[in-house]
Amino acid sequence: MSENPLHLLMNPGSIATAGAGNNLLKMGTIQTLNLLTSGYRGAYYPIHPREETVLGHRAWSSPADLPEVPDLAFIIVPTEEVAPVLDAFGKAGTRRAVIVTAGFRETGERGRALEEEIKAVARKHAIRFVGPNCVGIINTQASLNTTVGPHGSGQGPLGLASQSGTYVTQTLPYLARRGIRLSKAISLGNEADISIVDALEYLGEDPDTRAIILYIEGIREGRRFIETAKKITPNKPVLALYVGGSEAGARSGMSHTGAMAGPDYLYDGIFKQAGVIRVQTIEELYTHGWALATQPPMKGNRLGIVTNSGGPGTSISNAADTAGLTLPRFSEALQKEIRKMIPGHAASANPVDLTFHLDMKTLSTIIPELIMKSGEADGVIVHGVIDFLEEVNPGLRKYLDNTPLKDMAGQLRVDLSEAAALPKVHGKPMLISSFFDRRDSYVAYYQDHDVPVFDSPEKAAKAMADLHRYQRIRLRKKGEVPEPPRRSEEADELIASALKKGQKGLDEHEGKKILSAYGIPVTRERVAETEAGVSDAVRDIGFPVALKACSWDIMHKTGKGLVRLGLKREEDAVAAFHSIREAAGRPVPVLVQEMIPGNRELVMGMTRFAGFGPVLLFGLGGIFTEVLKDTAFRSAPLSLAEAEEMIGDIRASAILGSFRGMPPADTDVLADILQKLGFIAVLHPEIAEMDMNPLIISGSRPIVADALIIVNSEKESRQ
């Protein structure tokens, strides 16, 4: 496997800029100032056609004149000049570039043509580049910052890749105020060359990065993203904020599956498949990422809470319970030890509520350590560690400065070194909730010693829940995707015949033949075009039966008078045959099939998305499928472990167990069907969509009662 191009790009021994000058109001000059003042230790060469010096450094007229080949070209020239400048660097031997200049694909056809031009230049010289339309990169270990924002927070363990430049540069002061320190940050821009998947792979390999956060507006290499993330997430947490899933971005399709598989559902599913933790806000991206980068793993879901106020303790409890954490009642032995440290009226069971208590040593260190040592909690949240004398009443400090009580005030302050060390000493995460910021010396101490501080109780609880969520990701069942089965000749013939006739799909019976060819259980059935055919079919299949119109151009039959269920006599079946033809308005063939007993109806399906290939759907089925939208999505092909996880992902998964006297569904068979459905999609790219609704659980046995397959001869358009 070739080395990730970002290894050299993020660690250049020398940098040349094209577009930076001495005008301090220009973006390129501001970025170069950040480079020069960040402590970068490599060689710096400004390229400028007119200036003799740039920011005190000798300037060169072109890359060809430089005394050495720079490892990295940093380009901030007008849009029309980017390709010639990149070409000049390529001829000089430079093989990495950051193109900050905007005005390319994002502006329309002319910009798209210019972007193709720089891509062609890059290919010619084997240049790998970030951008265009980005703000640069940060590598705190190399003291390298080429963005427009100053980064003065020092080295950190949190890696960031963003499709928005703002979240790499404007947020730097915001992060500094919260004690969050980055290892690396990459603004990707248009991703004309290096993509967010490359950035994910690089940060996964980076020894200085303990957790990865991603801001995503869209992924073009969906399957590669999944496979890359799956390699990283067992060892390093990855969090993502995805913002492209609005209704306006959803695509529609001809089947239920295509209509329901909006991008937000898709990304939710592929993040779960990849082991990526999805967050809902940019604040959660940074703060939850920081918690996962700095804290030990949460090995269970038991949370201990220590607070000096009942309200915040209750807020943490409620948010934690909602997020899937539990608050065990502490044992009598542990409560006995805690009660020695707290007032008689204070609560000791969990949450431990000290009420108004000025002994910060007890709140910050003694009780949290008792809880960690006890083994009765897997993580601890502490609320209320504050410098009361400074924060609660500033006037009190002024008073104490003029009285003999000043020395006593100093004695009330505690050394938090033991408190901040608790997570490392005991191997359990600890988060702080406080309504104060870095102006409080205790908050600043926690932040400076890698103990995350949240500005509300609920936020701390949600972050702790993601620590537990990541532990479940680490421990989840692994599985390899096997080789697909041999391609079915019968399926090939059915698809080819439909395409030759100009059909957009197969009829239900043909669709089930394809499913059956790959071992998916379907109903026993026969197609009838006459009364005699119906009579023969019902005698062969046995009662009760269902009759349906059977034609590829009738894709949704329910509610149109084209389905008759539960028929128990031959004369009823014949009457239904004529009724269906009358409703259809033509002599349509009729499918006679066995009635499958069972009250649990599911849906499975497949549709395709650019970059992701075939995407599978699983969920509650029947006539309310589109209303309930209790579904899960994954990219195919699947391992059986992925299929099993997908089945358990729906909200109503409990109905697959023993339910109201019904035996548990055979989830092994369900997983097998999902895997086979994925193989069908991979083996037959002409299939655009598949919809199996309902798939009925009969006793324990899943069986497909209805099927729809949409075909498309333009294979590549559906990949």
Mean pLDDT for the stretch of residues 236-258: 66
Residue 11's pLDDT band, with cuts at 50, 70 and 90, is very high
- The confidence score (pLDDT) of residue 555 equals 83
Whether residue 399 has pLDDT greater than 90: no
Q: Is the pLDDT of residue 261 over 90?
A: no
Fold exhibited by the domain 600-718: D-amino Acid Aminotransferase; Chain A, domain 1 (3.30.470)
For 590, phi then psi, to 5°, come to -120, 135
- What band does 407 get if pLDDT is binned at 50, 70 and 90? low
How far is CA 198 from its chain centroid? 16
- Boundaries of every domain in the chain: 295-475, 524-595, 600-718
Average pLDDT, the chain: 92
Rounded Cα distance, 496 and 510, in Å: 12
* Residues 649 and 632 sit within 8 Å (Cβ to Cβ): yes
How far is the C-alpha of 538 from the C-alpha of 717, rounded, in Å? 42
Of 136-150, 260-274, 507-521, 606-620, minimum mean pLDDT range: 260-274
Task: Output the pLDDT for position 715.
Answer: 47
Mean pLDDT, to the nearest integer, of 470-485? 94
pTM above 0.85, yes or no: yes
pLDDT digit string, tens, across residues 194-238: 999 999 999 999 999 999 999 999 999 999 999 999 999 999 999
Three-state secondary-structure class, residue 142: helix
* Residue 448 pLDDT > 80: yes
Percentages helix, strand, coil for the chain, rounded to the nearest 5? 40, 20, 40
Q: What is the mean pLDDT of residues 59-70?
A: 96
524-595: CATH topology: Dna Ligase; domain 1 (3.30.1490)
CA 322 – CA 319 distance, rounded (Å): 5
| Amino acid in the structure at residue 320 | A
Q: Is the pLDDT of residue 257 over 70?
A: no
pLDDT beyond 60 at 295: yes
Please answer whether residues 609 and 651 qualify as being in contact, where contact means their C-beta atoms are separated by less than 8 angstroms: no
Which is nearest to 35 in space by CA: 108, 136, 118, 116? 136
Sheet containing 525-528: give its strands across.
Answer: 525-528, 590-594, 545-549, 563-567
Q: How many CB atoms lie within 10 A of CB 212?
A: 29
Give the range among 134-148, 156-170, 551-565 with minimum mean pLDDT.
551-565
Q: Which of 14, 69, 68, 67 lies closest to 41 in space, CA to CA?
A: 14
DSSP 451-476: --EESSHHHHHHHHHHHHHHHHHHHS
Residue 624 pLDDT level (bands cut at 50, 70, 90): low
Q: Does domain 295-475 have CATH number 3.40.50.261?
A: yes
d(CA 671, CA 616): 12
Longest dimension (CA), the chain: 110
With beta carbons less than 8 A apart as the criterion, state whether 633 and 261 touch. Answer: yes
Distance in angstroms (rounded) separating the CA atoms of residues 511 and 608: 18
Residue 253's pLDDT is what?
A: 43
Mean pLDDT of 98-106: 95
Lowest mean pLDDT among 104-118, 349-363, 523-537, 586-600: 349-363
